[in-house]
Structure 1
């Protein structure tokens, strides 16, 4: 397996990602969409999720495809980012047809970034505006790090961020991940700059530092000072033709990647979840091995995307934590 040409989730044909942010508030929103509706699923393993329309993604529900997925900061306020995306999609004639009325189906999830040093004394909730702006910015190329829904993200001892990565399977299928890294725990080993995800790194996509020379898995990890200021939310996607049940299995397998890259993950205070998206443009391999490899590749992509999101974070005025570059004096 090898990364796609961009090493982004948009290496999957037809997918677009848009980011919008407010640097004064230290927050933002990110949207993933396709030129046509796509199959989606979700698997939640954190104890404190914040979501919109995720019940609709169960395999037994009436609507089998959606129009977009939204990741946002802002805790419960941030769920309104999906409303901005829905408004934009409706204006473009997109959505589930109900008697001639178009109803865009836009599930979303949020992270808690309300204690990150930004100005949260807003009069009007900014997230609907940020969601609409993210939709209007959607493209195949997009930045990672301190951008979009990762603008105000933090982890135990560093700034977090928005990350992405991709892989092309031997079958020709493409898998990608998009993640907002805002975890309660760490993504590096102890006091070192080495990422927990280092065994999954391809080339020097997050510094090429390699695994930590000494790693005591029984050592106590660091935690955020505000125990409820957490959550890592992700999307894994593929061009494979999957049912909602098969997409749910891919989302479930992708959590392995989160557990490899964050210590600890899936805590009672994190709302850790993974959406899965399948555009369905490439049939499954008749050998039956492709679904297994899709889950494996999704986990690898998610681990790498988590490290990349933190590695590419940039400093901003009012930050409460250093970036990886600043803490470890990376030039």
Structure 2
């Protein structure tokens, strides 16, 4: 009979243990699912953090390039130096600066990829929690982009990678044409290295005049308009007399000094972005830590409930065994007592007449 009782208790134990395990598994799966969602959010925040850190690195790289430019300008003024060679070095370094600004993809860049139509900076958005909160990081531009809005309504826009200048009917309009001395028609595009000359520039009003050559055998075209620009303010050597004059070289030195100040100002925009990223990252880390603690608590609760079930079951089996032993002992006592009573001489009598 005890085996039957123990089997029944074991069956109840298994049922209750399965209930405990099922509850714990459901809770664990819910925690894991929540954890995965937070990890996905953290991944977006980490990408934004990479963009911010890369921006700081690019600013430092450009600061180093500015030191190189100072050295190039100084050498251009030395006796026996080739100004054209130094101007080429200067222009190559300017191209490196603009290239550094746009390094990496847009998803990881807060200091480049300017909108060339309205000069608005690039921005990065990321999900900041499991609800609908989205953080937008405002970028900046540490390269230099510019164009000239001519008095005739057209636009002269540079190709920063090719060091050329092209006339368009309007922003994002059609390329204008010119007729060369041999009668052929060509785009109105000139090299900023050797076919564009700065005639005058007023930094207060932005008024600017250029001489642009399309064909060496033809007179240069004079372009007058307003300079529109964004970024660090550094032009190629054409803007500074090709570094051939002391005035031009001093203007280049002054432009570098302003660019250094501009970099510091734009670095503060990155610092603000870094603060936003750090705040969002900390909040997600707190949630992940909470979920980790919940996971441990769920496991601890499962173990505690299982242990308590084992103790309770063992106690119940022991109690039932004790009860059975007591019943068995009482039964034996009754049997022994009855047997003694039957053997008593007082119960003996003669049934015959």
What TM-score range do you get, normalising by the shorter chain? under 0.3
- Structure number with the bigger relative contact order (C-alpha 8 A, sep ≥ 6) is 1
TM-score (norm 2): 0.20
TM-score (norm 1): 0.21
Question: Which of the pair has more CA radius of gyration?
Answer: 2
Greater fraction helix: 2
